[in-house]
Amino acid sequence: MADEQHHGHFVGPGAQRYYAESADRLADQYESLGFEDAHQAFLPLLPPSPATAADIGAGTGRDAAALAARGYAVTAVEPVRQLRQVARRLHPDPSIVWLADSLPTLSRLRGPFDLILLSAVWMHLDEAERARAVVRLHELLAPAGHLLLSLRHGPPPTDRRMFDVSDEETITLAAGTGLRLVHRTSGSGDRLGRSHVRWSSLAFAR
């Protein structure tokens, strides 16, 4: 669950340094919350095993490891090298393939996937990047595949590039590619206890 996608033109050196230098501390934060607690709304939508899954912005590997434990073949996409190193140390699962790639192009990632998860990632893309990214994600989904997104709402932090993206915009973008909304949970509290942060969960089917 990376809080930042770094990819050339849309992440400056300050943000990249933040995640590189904070990898170990962020691991303690991310790993303190279990996959089932973080993504309770998505559990009924997870496909039966065997299945293929992509965790985009996989961070320290918590979600990728949980998906692998369910019997999925998982591709974990994380552009920050230090986070990938921590993830491999914490979750040395041979069924997880780690890939250095990032949105909006995901140029190295090859589908199709039965499941694509973006947890705390979408809000790092600007409007134009989100429009490009949703097209690419649609391309990567298998027929009847599911795209799962968690969106952060609240004042963006000052030390990272972030936008408060609405559910409505995301739903409209997805519909433009033919993805249909199958689940929406809005206004969930922050499970790390931050009173100014709220979350929503959106699931789409191809």
Q: Which amino acid is at 144?
A: A
Domains and CATH numbers, the chain: 8-33+40-205 (3.40.50.150)
Residue pLDDT, tens place only, 2-60: 333 333 333 434 455 656 556 656 555 666 678 998 899 999 999 999 999 999 999 88
Q: Which amino acid is at 156?
A: P
Averaged confidence pLDDT in the chain: 85
Burial class (CB in 10 A: 0-12, 13-18, 19+), 196: exposed
Contact call for residues 54 and 115 (beta carbons, < 8 A): yes
Beta carbons within 10 angstroms of residue 95's beta carbon: 13
- How far, in Å, CA of 29 to CA of 22, rounded? 11
| Residue 188 pLDDT exceeds 80 | no
pLDDT of residue 131: 97
Q: Residue 166 corresponds to which tokens in the numbers above? A: 């609405």
pTM: 0.86
